[in-house]
Amino acid sequence: ALWTIGAGIVIILISANFNRKDEIRLAVMAIGGLLMLWSWADTINWYLQWLRVSPGIWFPSIPFRLNGSNNIAAYLNLLMMFGVCQMVFANLVWKRAAWGAYSLSAFLLIYLSSSRGAWVAAAVGFAVLVLGILYYRPQVWKTWWKSLQASAWSKAGLAGLVLLGASLAALYLQQSRHPTHGPALSSRSEFWPVAWKAFLQSPLLGHGLNTYPSFWLETYSCPPQEVFLHAHNQYLDVLVSAGLIGLFALIFLLAKVFFTLRSELSRAEGEFPWVLGLAGALCAYLVHGVFDGLYRMPFVSFSLALMLGATLQPVTLSSRFYQTFKVAFCGLVVLAGLSVPCVLQPLSDGI
């Protein structure tokens, strides 16, 4: 976890100094688009196989779950938050349609992932977007309200959205009953108590990187139980590996990030959609981290770090030396961290 955080800081500092930040952001979104195409191909292939074994039954009785499930869903949440903000603030019809299709694709795939943690995270992310627009761009809501009052088509569209929302709620409830799921309130009951007991044994400093599996093996017999490498809660993982000191360091880092985001939201003009999307994506990431170890998914964490760096103001020449020093220091931390998994990996393997 600590190595991943250090590597993320390096990516943020480096990407913050790139001049072509639009290219960074669009590259992240384009790569996400390719992943969505692959996911849709996987979905269509599953449906065709269903029709082969159940000819004439067009509506499968077995719910499909996207490959990658929680991992893919966390990544799609990030993409969806940015896509929705680009759609809302697009100044051309074709851009709004393109970003709308992009966001809808991510939304439907999150549904197919059957990741309940991702669904909760998406709800929180959308709430952040709504509150951000209300607070920082109230004129947008005023324009929409006037349009709703003046146009019958807008009223019909709003009614359609309410109906769609009710239908999606029913579909999500059905998808949440996928055979791979346990009960919603107890699906992490195996993992969290193990982490909490490990934390209580060394609350200040923790036990070190990748030590959760050793406590898992002390608690459960493997086999028949599987070996799990993390607590399915990235904050408990921090407590196990780095104790309260690591948790306070994480809280300090997040406080700094949110303070920076608040400043960017207040002064951003043309960049506002990207900054607001980042706020929603970051909140969704942190909420999803209550149910999964997202730090172990580099394509999610590093993409978020890239987008975070691409929203920061460029460093001035007067602070260039200090900035270079920080990048070099964090780089040394990352390089030092490369040797840690080599030492502690046997613990993850259950040796």
Q: What is the mean pLDDT of the chain?
A: 79
Question: Of the candidates 256, 322, 246, which has an alpha carbon nearest to the alpha carbon of residue 3?
Answer: 246
The pLDDT score that the predictor gives to residue 223 is 77
Percent of the chain with pLDDT over 70: 73
The pLDDT score that the predictor gives to residue 155 is 64
Alpha helices by DSSP H, 176-227:
192-201, 212-219
CB atoms within 10 A of CB 19: 7
In order of 67, 107, 249, 272, the CA distances from 45 in angstroms are: 12, 20, 45, 39
Mean pLDDT, rounded, for 151-179: 65
Q: What is the pLDDT of residues 86-142, one digit of tens each?
A: 999 998 999 999 999 999 999 999 988 888 888 899 999 999 999 999 998 888 777
The two tokens of residue 86 are 């680009």
Q: What is the pLDDT of residues 17-71, one digit of tens each?
A: 667 778 888 888 999 999 999 999 999 999 999 889 888 888 887 777 888 778 8
Q: What is the pLDDT of residues 4-13, one digit of tens each?
A: 666 666 677 6
In the 8-state DSSP scheme, what is residue 350? T
The pLDDT score that the predictor gives to residue 44 is 93
Type of residue found at 239: L
Q: What is the pLDDT of residues 256-292, one digit of tens each?
A: 889 888 888 888 778 899 999 999 999 999 999 998 8
Residue in this structure with the two tokens 């999500």, named with its chain if needed: 172
Are the C-beta atoms of 76 and 105 separated by less than 8 Å?
no
- Classify residue 107 as exposed, middle or buried by CB count within 10 Å of its CB (0-12, 13-18, 19+): middle
CB atoms within 10 A of CB 176: 14
pLDDT higher than threshold 60 for residue 150: yes
In the 8-state DSSP scheme, what is residue 185? T
Cα(245)–Cα(248) distance, rounded to whole angstroms? 5
Q: What is the pTM of this model?
A: 0.81
Rounded to 5 degrees, φ, ψ at 61 are -85, -15
